[in-house]
Chains A and B, each alone.
Chain A
Amino acid sequence: MRHRALQTALAFVTLVSTRAVAQDIRSEPVEIREGTARFDASTNLPAIRIHGKSEGLEGRARIRKNPDGLVIERLEATLPVRTLKTGMELRDEHMRKYVFTTPDGRLRDVRFVAERATCPGAVGAHTCKVSGNLFIRDVPRPFTIVLKVSDDGISLRAAGEGIVRLSTYDIAPPSQLGVKTKDDVKLQMDFVVDRVQEQIARETR
């Protein structure tokens, strides 16, 4: 009797773990490429808004499809701060110095980490509310970005925006010659997501 019970328990555990492994296999690793990040900061003067752009956004995640849509897991994206440009050298220096440099003088890249997001939607088009932590100066703060994802069967293209509140990072809005940026900065991202195997295949072709 005890032997049968043990067999049943083992069978159950095996079944559960097999399902879990199968599910994990279905989620595939992807890499972010052609990533563009833009920011738009308004100021105390209506005539002046500060814009910046980087084409250095990169990252990785795992994705899988289920009947309800797309699931994104273990998303990790990095924006190298040195690639972020406003179009004017001095303004770039100010931005790096006043926004991205830690109190001990180190320049830290911006990172976004999210554990899981579900993206309901029809085949080929999904909307994802991705919530995670945005690291600025290595300080994590909750951040949510709403992404619109389109799937052409080969790669995914995602675009969306969120608001970064500087004061939550204890960053004083930069001020220069009477012009002061506002606390809320709009952050926009646009990137292509490639399945890693397809990327390897493309690179070895």
Chain B
Amino acid sequence: MISSRAVALSVTLLSLLAATPRQALALPTMVRLGYSECSACHYSPQGGGPLNLYGRGIDQAQSYRGGEYIPATSNLARILTIGGRTTQELRTVIQEQASVVTGGSVQTRLWPRLAYRNATEIGRGLRVAATITAEGATAIRPTLSYAPLSRAPSVFVNTALLHYRPTKTLEFAAGRDQLPSGVNVPDLGLWTKSRNRLGYYDAPSQLKMFWTGRHVHVAPFAYMPGSNEDSDDGEKGAGTVAEVVVGQDHAVLGMTVVNATAALGDRQMMGGHARLGFGSWGIVAEHDFTKRTQVSAARASFSQSTSYGQLFWAPDDFLVISGIAERLHVEQPFEERLVAGKLEIAARLASQATLGISARIERDQIRRRYSASLMLQAALKTVP
């Protein structure tokens, strides 16, 4: 008798062979199980970075392999974890993408990345965290005259933070990292991310706080340029992400505000987001509105809005299928009107291996042009 899980796995693997890819690991979907905040499974309350002990257990339980996570207790493990104080891992993400634009030829791109991630407890509520990524290729990103993107080095320090947690519900962090954001999906190529300075190479210096109440999360932050921006584009500013949790931890509604200045132009951003879980399915959504002023030499002002919506379904613990819609509107003089739809399947085979596949179609409403892409992603990591 073939189990439904085996059938689901077979369908996934056949899909992977028949087509190609996507950016998986949509972990805000964990709200379906009542995990309304990232710190349930990650050391960092912002999410990302190494998983804590409980998170590693959930990671394994949510995989096709399943079963209990048992931490290594060998002498080597004790040395590598400095007696349990340090969690470190190597993670590689390999993306193969094939894309085509109306009237153009098929372009392919292989993007391998290798990251080292570390979280070390120092004691007395202090912790340091770092993520360093070696890039096998540069991420494809649009060049915008009003927002030139940060340089993409071959080795990039995504995170270098000192955390201080005086109480269970309060944490401060200082250093270099991504800014706190709305739904916090890991695909940093999304317009809600890449057009709001939350892309792959945006890691400004910052000071932030996380306060986690029973029904309220608040994360105010202030930031200044990191070290990899162009000199004109070094932005400084402040903002807050605030969320309320309702529906027995299965619904999170939040908003983000940012006010920033840079030589190339100022921006004020306001956004709303939601993470809703209903058992095996749910919805993740975000809409942001950005007003840019004093932009470039023309001192122009214009507005930008980005939207993201994801409807997901988890037919099994290890498998998440999503339908995703995106929208980008930028006003003149830099007018852009883009919409996109994506179908994505993410399968966590084991806590060490996740496969993702996605198909995306995008329409440029001004140039009346379509582009389509298929992407296959494999994420492999060591598990302490």
- Identify the A interface with B (CB < 8 A): 38, 40, 45-51, 53, 86-91, 176-179
Contacts and interface: CB of A to CB of B under 8 A. Distances in A.
Contacts of A86: 33
A49 B40 CA distance: 9
B169 interface: yes
Contact of B57 (A87, A89, A176): A176
A161 to B, nearest CB: 12
Q: Interface majority SS on B: helix, strand, loop or mixed?
A: loop
B67 A88 contact: no
B248 interface: yes
Contacts of B69: 177
B54 A176 contact: yes
B248 A91 contact: no
B53 A177 contact: yes
B212 A90 contact: no
B33 A47 contact: no
A179 B61 contact: no
B78 to A, nearest CB: 17
Nearest to A42: B214
Contacts of B248: 38, 40, 49, 51
Contact of A47 (B32, B40, B66, B250): B40
Closest 3 CB pairs of A and B: A90-B61, A47-B40, A177-B57
B68 A90 contact: yes
Interface of B: 32-37, 39-40, 52-54, 56-58, 61-62, 66-69, 168-169, 212, 214, 248-250, 279-280, 317
A178 B57 CA distance: 10
A151 to B, nearest CB: 27
Given A46-B168, A49-B249, A177-B69, A87 B214 contact: no
Nearest to B250: A51
Most A Cβ at <10 Å: residue of B37, B212, B248, B280: B248
B212 A46 contact: yes
Nearest to B279: A87
Contacts of A91: 61
A184 to B, nearest CB: 15
B66 A87 contact: no
Contacts of B34: 49-51, 87
Contact of A87 (B33, B40, B68, B169): B33
A57 B66 CA distance: 29
A87 B212 contact: no
A88 B33 contact: yes
Given A46-B212, A47-B37, A88-B61, 8 more contacts: A49-B249, A87-B33, A87-B280, A88-B58, A90-B67, A177-B53, A178-B52, A178-B53
Contacts of B67: 90
A74 B35 CA distance: 39
Contacts of B212: 46-47
A38 B248 CA distance: 10
